């Protein structure tokens, strides 16, 4: 019985990708830290045309009420308490200046945090653009490792929310023979969201940007296909 349990444990270690050799393959927990849309996205022209058609179609078969009843209902909305609503502009100053350090841009899109600096697996040890990430060491879970990665950048997690305990995706990074000091490792992505703030203090990096999904592909052309499938919008 003891032998069967031992063999089962060994098979689990192999199936999860952990190595028991002297130089095990590293596991990296990365955080896809996003700011959700602030305003409702613009309606696609095709969707708008369909909604207009549906409204006009329903108007043909709507229930008609007596004119006396409609006059009374219309009179209820009149009074001194009426407020003229003026919507805020969808295009902000940060949009006009293409200020990618600001969260006050692309209000109808999701924004993702990228930081610039040294990280595990960067070619020749040079700084690169990457997500907040950390090599797994002795944390209780991989999500705890991801929380530590984001904490090191923000200094506080009070305005963050991690979506679930499981990673949203993973990719195996192979070492390159053309680049020195580029070890192979497995990268697991966790989703976290900005909560109840429009300004965060980003530290422990040389630079940072908040980018949309389309802009994100400019920083990772070699991972564009993978990120496009993992990130919905």
Q: What is the CATH number of the domain that holds 200?
A: 3.90.79.10
Q: Please count the structural domains in the chain.
A: 1
Written as six digits, the tokens of 109 are 């899109």
Query: For the whole model, what pTM was predicted?
Result: 0.77
Asked, for residue 139, whether it belongs to a domain, the answer is: yes
Dihedral of the alpha carbons of 174, 175, 178, 181, in degrees to the nearest 10: 150
Asked, for residue 222, whether it belongs to a domain, the answer is: yes
Q: Evaluate if residue 42 carries a pLDDT over 70.
A: yes
Asked, for residue 130, whether it belongs to a domain, the answer is: yes
Q: What is the pLDDT of residues 16-27, one digit of tens each?
A: 444 434 457 899
Please tell me which residue, 4 or 183, carries the higher pLDDT value. Answer: 183
Tell me what the mean pLDDT of segment 67-74 comes to: 63
Asked, for residue 176, whether it belongs to a domain, the answer is: yes
Tell me what the mean pLDDT of segment 79-89 comes to: 71
Written as six digits, the tokens of 159 are 């305005």
Asked, for residue 110, whether it belongs to a domain, the answer is: yes
Per the structure, the complete domain to which residue 217 belongs is given by 26-40+89-230
From the list 191, 43, 38, 196, the residue with the least C-alpha distance to 106 is: 38
Backbone CA torsion sign across 63, 68, 70, 73:
negative
Asked, for residue 20, whether it belongs to a domain, the answer is: no
Answer yes or no: are the C-beta atoms of 110 and 214 closer than 8 Å: no
Backbone CA torsion sign across 174, 176, 179, 180:
positive
Q: What is the pLDDT of residues 101-151, one digit of tens each?
A: 999 999 999 999 999 999 987 877 789 999 999 999 999 999 999 999 999
């Amino acid at each position: 019985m003891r032998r069967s349990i031992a063999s089962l444990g060994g098979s689990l270690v192999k199936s999860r990708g952990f190595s028991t050799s002297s130089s095990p393959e590293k596991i990296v927990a990365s955080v896809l830290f996003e700011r959700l849309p602030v305003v409702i996205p613009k309606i696609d022209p095709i969707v708008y045309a369909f909604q207009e058609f549906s409204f006009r179609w329903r108007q043909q078969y709507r229930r008609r009420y007596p004119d006396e009843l409609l006059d009374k209902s219309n009179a209820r909305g009149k009074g001194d308490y009426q407020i003229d609503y003026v919507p805020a502009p969808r295009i902000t100053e940060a949009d006009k200046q293409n200020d990618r350090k600001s969260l006050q841009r692309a209000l109808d899109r999701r924004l993702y945090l990228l930081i610039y600096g040294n990280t595990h697996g960067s070619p020749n040890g040079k700084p690169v653009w990457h997500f907040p990430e950390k090599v797994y060491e002795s944390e209780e879970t991989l999500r705890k490792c991801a929380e530590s990665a984001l904490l090191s950048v923000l200094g506080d997690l009070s305005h963050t929310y991690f979506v679930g305990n499981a990673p949203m995706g993973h990719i195996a990074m192979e070492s390159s023979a053309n680049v020195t000091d580029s070890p192979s490792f497995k990268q697991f992505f966790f989703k976290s969201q900005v909560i109840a703030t429009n300004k965060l203090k980003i530290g422990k990096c040389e630079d940072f940007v908040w980018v949309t999904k389309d802009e994100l592909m400019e920083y990772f052309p070699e991972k564009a296909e993978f990120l496009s499938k993992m990130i919905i919008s």
